[in-house]
Chains A and B, each alone.
Chain A
Amino acid sequence: MPSPQIDIHHIAKLSRLALTNEEAVQYQDQLNRILGHIDQLSTYRLDAEPSAHAMPIFDVIRPDIARPGLTQEEALSNAPRRAMDQFQIPKVME
Chain B
Amino acid sequence: MSLANSTIAKLRQRLLAKEISPRDIVTDVAQAIDSQNASIGAYLSWDLEKALKEADQADIAQPLGGIPIGIKDNMNVIGEPCTCGSRMLAENYTAPYDAGAIVKLRSAGAVPFGRLNMDEFAMGSSTENSALGVTRNPWDLERIPGGSSGGSAAAVAGNLAIATLGSDTGGSIRQPAALCGCVGLKPTYGRISRYGLVAFASSLDQIGPITKTVEDSAILLNHLCGKDARDSTSLDVAVPDFTLALGQDIKGLRIGLPKEYFISGIHAGVSAAVNAAIQKLEALGAIPVEISLPHTDVGVSTYYIIAPAEASANLARFDGVRYGHRSTAATDLMEHYMMSREEGFGPEVKRRILLGTYVLSSGYYDAYYLKAQRARTLIRQDFEQAFEKVDVIVSPTSPTPAHKLGALKDNPLAAYLEDIFTIPANLAGLPAISLPCGTALEDGKQLPVGLQIIGKPLDEMTLLRVADAFEKA
A89→B94 contact, CB < 8 A: no
Interface size on A, residues (CB 8 A): 52
A17→B429 contact, CB < 8 A: no
Which residues of chain B from 316 to 340 have any CB-CB distance to chain A below 8 Å in the complex?
316, 319-326, 330-339
CB distance from A7 to the nearest CB of B (A): 9
A50→B376 contact, CB < 8 A: yes
- B375 in contact (CB, < 8 A): yes
Q: A44-B375, A78-B96, A90-B330 are in contact. Are A11 and B322 (CB under 8 A)?
A: no
Note all chain B residues with C-beta closer than 8 A to A12: 354
A51→B373 contact, CB < 8 A: yes
A79–B322 Cα gap in the complex (Å)?
A: 5
B96→A17 contact, CB < 8 A: no
A19–B349 Cα gap in the complex (Å)?
A: 13
A15–B416 Cα gap in the complex (Å)?
A: 22
Note all chain B residues with C-beta closer than 8 A to A89: 321, 333, 336
Note all chain A residues with C-beta closer than 8 A to B312: 15
A30→B92 contact, CB < 8 A: no
Q: In terms of DSSP, what is the predominant structure of the interface of chain B?
A: helix
- B107 in contact (CB, < 8 A): no
Interface size on B, residues (CB 8 A): 74
Which residues of chain A from 2 to 40 have any CB-CB distance to chain B below 8 Å in the complex?
6, 8, 10-19, 23, 27, 30-31, 33-35, 37-38, 40
A37→B427 contact, CB < 8 A: no
Note all chain A residues with C-beta closer than 8 A to B373: 50-52
Note all chain A residues with C-beta closer than 8 A to B298: 40-41, 44
Q: In terms of DSSP, what is the predominant structure of the interface of chain A?
A: loop
- B412 in contact (CB, < 8 A): yes
Q: A14-B361, A70-B96, A90-B332 are in contact. Are A34 and B372 (CB under 8 A)?
A: no
Note all chain B residues with C-beta closer than 8 A to A49: 374, 377
A14–B377 Cα gap in the complex (Å)?
A: 29
Binds A, one of B25-33, B131-139, B228-236: B228-236
* Contact with B190, one of A31, A55, A75, A79 (Cβ below 8 angstroms): A55
A81→B457 contact, CB < 8 A: no
A52–B330 Cα gap in the complex (Å)?
A: 37
A82–B339 Cα gap in the complex (Å)?
A: 19
A45–B23 Cα gap in the complex (Å)?
A: 60
Q: A19-B342, A79-B321 are in contact. Are A34 and B376 (CB under 8 A)?
A: no
By a beta-carbon cutoff of 8 Å, the part of chain B in contact with chain A is 92-94, 96-97, 189-190, 203, 229, 232-233, 235, 295, 297-298, 300-302, 304-305, 312, 316, 319-326, 330-339, 341-342, 345, 347, 350-351, 353-355, 357-358, 361, 367-368, 370-378, 380-381, 412-413, 416, 426-430, 457
- Contacts A1-B367, A13-B338, A75-B96 supplied; 10 other A-B pairs, CB < 8 Å: A17-B353, A23-B350, A38-B301, A42-B367, A50-B376, A50-B377, A53-B429, A80-B323, A80-B325, A92-B332
